[in-house]
Amino acid sequence: MSWLEALILGVIQGLTEFLPVSSSGHLELAGAILDDSMLPEEGLLMSIILHGATALSTIVVFRKDVMEMLRGIIKWQWNEEMKFAFKVGISMIPAGIIGLFFEEQIQQLFGGQVLLVGFMLLVTGTLLFIADLSKTTDKGVGFRHSFIIGVAQAVALLPGISRAGATISMSVMLGIDRARAARFSFLMVVPLILGKVVLDLFSGNVSDSTLEAGPLAVGFVTAFVFGVMACKLMIALVRKAKLKYFSFYCYAVGLTAIALMVF
């Protein structure tokens, strides 16, 4: 992999992990456009690096919230911080179950599935458009909400379904305050990403990777920097109910991908 390819993938991952346009879908499309011929272990290693970078960017942006949750867990007191950490744990259950028992089936949906990505982007666009029509309320995230949002996150394992788009849209449709919805959406994925990174690193599938340190570093730094910017931008846009603009983008990219495969 060249440094330019690593730069492009880093930008895509950093932006699309937080903007509700599906990072997995865009990486699939980028792979098809770049005619990606990387060995599987090289692709896995770069994926680990990119996802680790965006997880770190989330921690940096929400560092105060992360520290409060950690203090709540360490003190082991049933305070607001501990409750929030517990809600994050509940939200991880659906995706965790899918990942444990259906990982092979999910993996089969990746690897050049441009047509599937196109249709799933249309679904993402529809979710965003509906969410923007929802009334603004001041509700917080409840324990029941946490599980329902977690189901939305599990559905977003499909390439082309935006995790941020699905979870934030579901939160807003449940009547949760937009700022709280964005905060919970971004924080709930950090344990899952870090857990997946650790599992992949110790899976033994990246031990023979020939990918050089330079492209890995470029991909990591680029994904981190653009991740921080996209995360902050997304928080502001959710508060202002501007999700419909991303729905138009998803429709455009989705229809283009479908047209390219069909015609």
| SS (HEC) of the chain | CCHHHHHHHHHHHHHHCCCCCCHHHHHHHHHHHCCCCCCHHHHHHHHHHHHHHHHHHHHHHCHHHHHHHHHHHHHCCCCHHHHHHHHHHHHHHHHHHHHHHCHHHHHCCCCCCHHHHHHHHHHHHHHHHHHHHCCCCCECCCHHHHHHHHHHHHHCCCCCCCHHHHHHHHHHHCCECHHHHHHHHHHHHHHHHHHHHHHHHCCCCCCCCCCCHHHHHHHHHHHHHHHHHHHHHHHHHHHCCCHHHHHHHHHHHHHHHHHHHHC
Query: Which segment of 23-37, 91-105, 244-258 scores lowest on mean pLDDT?
Result: 23-37
Mean pLDDT of 82-87: 91
**pLDDT at residue 57 in the model:** 95
Is the confidence at residue 207, as pLDDT, over 60? no
Q: What is the mean pLDDT of the chain?
A: 86
What's the pLDDT score for residue 92? 92
Is the confidence at residue 112, as pLDDT, over 80?
A: no
Average pLDDT, integer, range 93-117: 85
Specify the pLDDT at position 126: 95
Residue 108 pLDDT > 90, yes or no?
no
| Average pLDDT, integer, range 61-81 | 86
Say if CB 41 and CB 205 are below 8 A apart.
yes
Q: What's the average model confidence in pLDDT over 157-176?
A: 92
Provide the token pair at 81: 């911080």
Kindly indicate the confidence band of residue 104, based on its pLDDT and cuts at 50, 70 and 90: confident
62-76, 164-178, 208-222: the lowest-pLDDT one: 208-222
Q: How far is CA 222 from CA 38, 119, 141, 195, 236, in A?
A: 20, 28, 32, 22, 22
For the chain, what is the domain count? 1
For residue 122, give its domain range: 3-262
Q: What is the pLDDT of residue 204?
A: 65
User: Which pLDDT score, from 0 to 100, does residue 40 have?
Assistant: 43
Confidence (pLDDT) at 41: 45
Q: What is the mean pLDDT of residues 89-95?
A: 93
pLDDT number for residue 47? 80
Residue % of the chain over a pLDDT of 90: 42
